[in-house]
């Protein structure tokens, strides 16, 4: 892997950090208008709040310096062991998972850095970073080592306990996660039920002392065994209601991986240093998180939405890894007396990788921003005892909650799918060498494939997003107003943007006119591709007013035009398919 700071030495990521994100809005949303935690630290001296910023400028400096440290750690240290971690892989012996020493050393180094609990509240000893920063975290970590990226992302599920748990549970489970004394895992999927969580059969029976005994089997549980001697805290979805009670009969419980049987691990195509476990519960003691019956609608929804944004950032990070490794190889590999990057066909692949990678970054950052604009204030109000009904009456909450609800599955879908395509191109740029295990792109290619499967397959993301998208694009819909706001920022390439708007609007009308439900489902992905390409195009074109034509970033202008042209062609193809199959 290339050895450099994966944040400060990445000029495109630097450009986006400094020019795309409205950090003033993010800081105020995350920290509160009065910078609540800093003010409390001044008054009380609470050591957990020592790092809380007291101004927008301090907040931006904190976010930047944290990402700088992360970029240095992954780019110059941890990425060096990703190949070795992958090659050695994991072993399962006598009910225990054996990790490569290189992976355990990397985990220890990441743990010592203090950077892992990035999304956990400072009140629980975490870093309390905004979701926009979390998206960049995933980009940096996935570029360096996807398995370690998963470890860190999963650990930050501890934020769910902070949000819905009791004060005792926060101290017992969230704080140890912030100290990396435990890791976290989502124990949702069962052998016969993947994304169909409504059909979960694992049973939780309440005991006289208020705790529960859980019986059942879970499969495909990432990090379900913990790491080395560090146990995992399992967020287990189990049925407390009667059989057939659906989502209302499901609850989430807290268990230690030490109290379940690890029946085996999967032998996988990629992410070889990340354990994917089968777990057996035999009257395992668990503590209820939140309320009975809210497991799927609140807790699991919060966990999966967080991990979907992490997957979107991870897809963009994997795409960047594919691009930069290919650019390096193409500059060194000589054919016909010149570096292959000077061959037009190779140069076009490299240019495509760069512009698609940056489009993924734009979408992931925009998605993180949309979550930041409502979720921090929502959690503060929840902690102050304000009801969900009252929170949802706030027009700003309704706006950004609606936008985030659409962007999150769209970003997960798009970045996962495009990350796979860029990994494919990376192998192609490397030619025969890319098909061997001598170069990192073979691992990048294998690791990318899982991103369009876990945290809900691409097809599930289409199903999740399509209803909100269509209703949100109604005449007075919130998402339509959001799209119009993005369009107002456009100065260049308006003809292409107008053509995309025509395609989008016509495709919406075609979709609304389809009466047969099976046909609608068949054509849903066509509309999602059209929508996500239109959104990425607006984000891409909207940032061009920050680019000087004679600067070293002037390629953004031509990249954007090429992205718009390709996207318009793809949108037309999907529009035609919808039209042809609609009747």
Residue 533 has pLDDT above 80, yes or no: yes
Residue 245 is predicted with a pLDDT of 65
Does the CA dihedral 162-144-408-49 come out positive or negative? positive
**pLDDT score for 549:** 80
The pLDDT score that the predictor gives to residue 243 is 67
Within 10 angstroms of residue 335's Cβ, the number of other Cβ atoms is 12
Measured CA distances, 173 to 93, 222, 226, 257, 295 (Å) = 28, 19, 14, 13, 18
The alpha carbons of the chain give a radius of gyration, in whole angstroms, of 23
pLDDT at 299: 87
pLDDT surpassing 90 at residue 242? no
Mean pLDDT for 184-199 is 84
Report the interhelical angle of 458-472 vs 395-430 (nearest 10°). Answer: 140
Q: Tell me the average pLDDT across 302-307.
A: 92
- Report whether pLDDT(482) > 70: yes
Residues 444 and 322: beta-carbon distance below 8 Å: yes
Q: Which pLDDT score, from 0 to 100, does residue 323 have?
A: 98
> How sure is the predictor about 198, in pLDDT bands with cuts at 50, 70 and 90?
confident
Q: How far apart are CA 382 and CA 135, in angstroms?
A: 24
Query: pLDDT grade, residue 244 (50/70/90)?
Result: low
pLDDT over 80 at 583, yes or no = no
Query: The whole model's pTM is what?
Result: 0.97
Q: pLDDT band at 550, cuts 50/70/90?
A: confident
Sign of the four-CA dihedral 484, 488, 492, 495: positive
Instruction: Give the C-alpha separation, 528 to 574, whole Å.
Output: 10
Tell me the mean pLDDT in the region 171-185.
98
> Is residue 97 within 8 Å of residue 91, measured between CB atoms?
yes
Burial letters 495-520, b for 16+ CB under 10 A, else e: ebbeebbebbeebbebbeebeeeeeb
First to last CA, the chain: 51
Question: For 224-249, what is the mean pLDDT?
Answer: 88
Arithmetic mean of pLDDT, 485-502: 97
Residue keyed to tokens 């105020």: 28
Q: Give Cα separations from 391 to 83, 387, 421, 528 (angstroms).
A: 47, 6, 41, 30
Does the pLDDT value for residue 190 go beyond 70? yes
Q: State the CB neighbour count (10 A cutoff) for residue 386.
A: 13
pLDDT at residue 301 greater than cutoff 90: no
Contacts (Cβ under 8 Å, ≥6 apart) of 140: 6, 7, 67, 70, 71, 74, 75, 317
Query: What are the tokens at 419?
Result: 């990350």
Residue (of 487, 504, 498) closest to 541 by Cα position: 487
Mean pLDDT, rounded, for 204-209: 92
Mean pLDDT computed over 323-335: 97
Paired tokens of 109: 């180094």
Q: CA 468 to CA 401: how far, in whole Å?
A: 11
- Give the closest residue to 371 by CA, choosing from 415, 406, 411, 401: 401
DSSP 482-528: HHHHHHTT--S-HHHHHHHHHHHHHHHHHHHH---HHHHHHHHHHHH
Beta bridge partners of 250: 239
Average pLDDT over residues 349-366: 98
Tokens of 252: 């989430």
Domains delineated in the chain:
182-293 (2.40.110.20), 473-582 (no CATH)
Mean pLDDT of the chain: 96
- pLDDT for 136 equals 98
pLDDT on residue 297: 79
Above 90 in pLDDT, residue 416? yes
The token duo for 251 is 């609850």
CA dihedral over 69, 70, 74, 78, signed as positive or negative? positive
Q: CB–CB of 341/347 below 8 Å?
A: yes
Give tens-digit pLDDT for 266-277: 999 999 999 999
pLDDT digits (tens, 9 = 90+) for 418-445: 999 999 999 999 999 999 999 999 999 9
Tokens representing 116 are 């892992």
């Amino acid at each position: 892997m290339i050895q450099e700071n994966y944040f400060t030495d990445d000029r495109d990521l630097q450009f986006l950090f400094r020019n795309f994100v409205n950090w003033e809005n993010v800081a105020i949303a995350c920290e509160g208008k009065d910078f609540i935690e800093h003010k409390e630290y001044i008054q009380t001296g609470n050591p957990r709040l020592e790092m809380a910023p007291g101004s927008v400028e301090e907040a931006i400096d904190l976010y930047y310096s944290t990402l700088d440290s992360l970029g240095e750690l992954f780019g110059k240290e941890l990425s060096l062991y990703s190949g070795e971690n992958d090659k050695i892989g994991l072993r399962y012996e006598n009910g225990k998972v054996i990790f490569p020493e290189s992976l355990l050393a990397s985990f220890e180094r990441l743990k010592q850095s203090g950077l892992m609990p990035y999304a956990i509240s400072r009140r629980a000893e975490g870093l309390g970073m905004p979701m926009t920063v979390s998206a960049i975290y995933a980009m940096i970590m996935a570029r360096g080592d996807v398995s370690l990226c998963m470890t860190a992302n999963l650990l930050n599920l501890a934020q769910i306990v902070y949000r819905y748990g009791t004060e005792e549970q926060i101290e017992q489970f969230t704080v140890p996660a912030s100290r990396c004394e435990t890791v976290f895992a989502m124990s949702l999927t069962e052998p016969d039920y993947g994304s169909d969580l409504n059909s979960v059969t694992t049973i939780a029976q309440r005991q006289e002392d208020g705790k529960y005994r859980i019986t059942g089997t879970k499969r495909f549980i990432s990090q379900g065994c913990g790491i080395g001697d560090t146990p995992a805290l399992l967020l287990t979805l189990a049925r407390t209601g009667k059989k057939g009670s659906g989502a209302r009969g499901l609850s989430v419980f807290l268990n230690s991986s030490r109290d379940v049987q690890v029946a085996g691990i999967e032998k996988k195509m990629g992410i070889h240093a990340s354990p994917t476990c089968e777990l057996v519960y035999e009257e395992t003691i668990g503590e209820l998180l939140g309320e009975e019956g809210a497991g799927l609608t609140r807790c699991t929804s919060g966990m999966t939405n967080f991990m979907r944004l992490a997957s979107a950032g991870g897809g963009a990070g994997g795409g960047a890894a594919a691009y930069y490794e290919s650019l390096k190889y193409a500059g060194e590999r000589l054919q016909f007396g010149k570096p292959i990057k000077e061959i037009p066909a190779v140069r076009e692949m490299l240019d495509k990788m760069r512009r698609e990678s940056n489009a993924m970054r734009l979408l992931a950052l925009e998605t993180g921003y949309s979550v930041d604009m409502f979720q921090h204030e929502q959690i503060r109000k929840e902690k102050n005892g304000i009801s969900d009904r009252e929170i949802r009456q706030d027009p700003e909450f309704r706006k950004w909650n609606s936008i985030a609800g659409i962007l999150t599955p769209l970003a997960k879908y798009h970045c996962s799918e495009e990350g796979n395509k860029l990994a494919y191109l990376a192998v192609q740029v490397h030619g025969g060498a890319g098909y061997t295990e001598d170069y990192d792109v073979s691992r990048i290619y294998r690791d990318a494939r899982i991103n369009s499967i876990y945290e809900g397959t691409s097809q599930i993301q289409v199903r999740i997003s399509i209803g909100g998208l269509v209703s949100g694009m109604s005449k007075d819909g919130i998402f339509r107003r959001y799209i119009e706001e993005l369009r107002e920022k456009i100065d260049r390439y308006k003809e292409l943007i107008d053509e995309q708007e025509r395609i989008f609007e016509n495709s919406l009308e075609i979709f609304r006119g389809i009466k047969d439900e099976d046909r609608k489902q068949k054509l849903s992905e066509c509309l999602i591709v059209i929508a996500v390409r239109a959104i990425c195009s607006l984000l891409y074109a909207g940032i061009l007013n920050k680019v000087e034509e004679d600067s070293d970033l002037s390629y953004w202008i031509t990249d954007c035009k090429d992205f718009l042209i390709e996207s318009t062609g793809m949108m037309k193809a999907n529009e035609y398919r919808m039209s042809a199959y609609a009747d």
